[in-house]
Amino acid sequence: MPTIKTMPTRAFLAALLLLQTAAAQSRKLDSLSDFSHSIRALTQKVSPAVVQIVVTGYGSAEENGNLAGAALTRQRSTGSGVVVDAEGYIVTNAHVVRGAISVRVLVAAAKRSESGAPLEAKIIGIDRGTDIALIKVDRSGLATLPFGDSDALRQGDLVLAVGSPLGLQNSVSMGVVSSPARQISEDNPLAYIQTDASINPGNSGGALINVDGQLMGINSFIYTQSGGSQGIGFAVPSNVVQNVYQQLKRKGHVHRGEVGVFVQDITPLIATGLKLPQDYGVLVSDVLPGGPADKAGLKTRDIISSLENKPIEFARDFELVFYRRQKGDEISLKVVREGREMPEAIVIEVAEQEDEDDALADSVKPETNLISRLGILCIEIDARIAKLLPDLRQPDGIIVAAKSPAGQGRYIDLEAGDVIHAMNDTPVGSLESFRTNVVNFKAGDPVVLSIERAGVFRYLAFEIE
């Protein structure tokens, strides 16, 4: 019989281990290759829906750090936007299109042979509270991105940032969610998505994408000491963006809800001083008399334990809900009162928040408010604007918003915030009548303006150039 030689055990195990190692390395290479192909496919899918925005407009150039002498300069800037409706609706940041005279959109060409000529865009609406704006181009059939559920994001989730950093159109970077809900300051209740995906100037208004190709946020700003990306970027969550988009598309502006209540985080010191039953949670510090919360039965020193049947830990979580609620909606609260949880939920009907803080800024449109001969940008005082300026001694005239270095205004002692009440003893009246009177002056004609500055009347005299 033939003799069968067996491989020594040690040599056999070594060979087997070598084969297993090679197989494992092959699987790793295959996994890396598959991952790379997946990212490539995802990028190709989402990139056509992210556009570059080129804005020409007016901006304020501070002179020696003095805001009162702010000059108005013509500027050109770039940003990014996301197509959310195939009929040409594009979401971007409000600061990207602020002060715009013209807005042009560069859509990624579907083919190399296409020119990719810029499209003129119209500003549909701006919401400064969330720094979101909606613009529209006259083009249909555009690639779009679907909204995802930003509440589903978790720390460590993989995301892509798509936009035009530093004017480099259609750039993609990859990172993770550093925090799904980061509050930047106590004055701003909006919780942002923090990411380490590389974001630089020009990315503003671009898309933050999850691995399913859904829009999870609009990239808005970065924390930096160098001016470039340091891995700390922030995006407005998609659930907030979607609500703002729908309102801007429908009405051109945003009506945010409120219920007439103020809340704050409970600290151990507050809990001890007020003898509260817990040293954490959300405390009702004030309820406006006659407001929705007051009518529903909410009281000062109530502790809110749940909102919409979800436990609530921080005051910002309560304030954030109103970025998604409108007049007529209802919210349900469970509260702890005097150490006992109330058996029934308190249901409050949401009222409309007054957005008077933005009214003055919304009134400025360089194409209609510029008095070009004098080189000043002015706002006409009407009943709405007068309400914002209760300290005015005479509630009429026009307000100087800024000065242009191109006009005579740079030589006139006018400051941003001055109110012009009369010109050559004639009441100013409307902005249009003031502009007409200025145009009708001849070179060398004397002009005396009666202005109000910080509550004091004075005269400014000069000759028309």
Nearest Cα residue to 82 out of 132, 28, 124, 42:
132
- Per the annotation, the verdict on 421 as an active-site residue is no
Cβ-count burial of 289 within 10 angstroms (0-12 exposed, 13-18 middle, 19+ buried)? Answer: exposed
- 174, 173, 175, 180: which is closest to 155 by C-alpha? 180
Q: Alpha-carbon distance 339 to 277, whole Å?
A: 6
- Annotated catalytic residue 95: yes
**For the chain, how big is the Rg over CA atoms in Å?**
29
Residue 70 burial (10 A CB sphere; 0-12, 13-18, 19+): buried
Block residue for tokens 């503003």: 204
CA distance 329 to 350: 5
Cα distance between residue 220 and residue 240, in whole Å: 13
Among 80, 164, 178, 204, the active-site one is 204
3-state helix, strand, coil in the chain (%, to 5): 25, 40, 35
Question: Is 204 an annotated catalytic residue?
Answer: yes
Query: Which residue is catalytic, options 60, 85, 95, 157?
Result: 95
Q: Among 345, 386, 373, 362, which residue's Cα sits nearest to residue 434?
A: 373
Query: In sequence order, which residues have a C-beta less than 8 Å from that of residue 170 and are 6 or more positions away?
Result: 47, 50, 52, 108, 162, 164
Burial of 126 (0-12, 13-18, 19+ CB in 10 A): buried
In the chain, what's the furthest Cα-to-Cα distance?
A: 130
Kindly provide the b/e burial profile for residues 28-47, where b requires at least 16 CB atoms within 10 angstroms of the residue's own CB: eeeeeeeeeeeeeebbeebb
Of the candidates 131, 196, 317, 418, the residue annotated as catalytic is 131
- Per the DSSP assignment, residues forming a β-bridge with 158 are 176
Q: Known catalytic residues?
A: 95, 131, 204
